[in-house]
Structure 1
């Protein structure tokens, strides 16, 4: 590879490496928040589920909750 192409490739690699470092730092921050919430009595598993539900639009969330209720009913859980 020539000089310009090699420089561009190096630039891409360095940018990706920098973003990977930032991603790890953010993941560490999130882990600390879960630990803090757990120390205050909150359940990490439930917080993760709530966050997952909040990412969905209302219709998708309602459909999922209805299906869960159907399955629970079929299994005699409700």
Structure 2
């Protein structure tokens, strides 16, 4: 007896397990949806940086400030102190 494509699909579905296959499909679709949202957000952020640049702001400095705002104040203070020490050691101060 030969399997037709419908029989094969049913056999494959039964082999993988209906619940597992449905769960996998759901997870993949959610990841794909979030990837699209991330792409849209990245585009929005790029537009805001362009706006900041056209307003005369230094984008590199803005990125650094945003990175620093994510850190704990003690971490920022320690980094700034080390930068100052390194600058003086290199004769840059």
| TM-score interval, smaller chain | over 0.9
Query: How many pairs align?
Result: 78
Rounded Cα–Cα distance in structure 1 between residues aligned with 2:17 and 2:71: 47
Gap runs ≥5 in structure 1: none
Q: Provide the alpha-carbon RMSD of the alignment.
A: 0.5
CA-to-partner distance for each residue in 1:46-77, whole Å, 9 max, x for gaps?
10001011111110000000000000000000
Q: Does 1:66 align with 2:77?
A: no
Q: Which has the larger radius of gyration?
A: 2
Counterpart secondary structure, 1:56: coil
Equivalent of residue 57 in structure 1, options 54, 72, 86: 72
Give the number of the structure with larger relative contact order, counting CA–CA contacts within 8 Å between residues 6 or more apart. Answer: 1
* TM-score calculated relative to the size of structure 2: 0.82
TM-score in terms of structure 1 length: 0.97
In structure 2, C-alpha distance between the alignment counterparts of 1:59 and 1:42, rounded to whole Å: 27
Task: Point out where structure 2 has 5 or more consecutive residues left out of the alignment.
Answer: 1-15
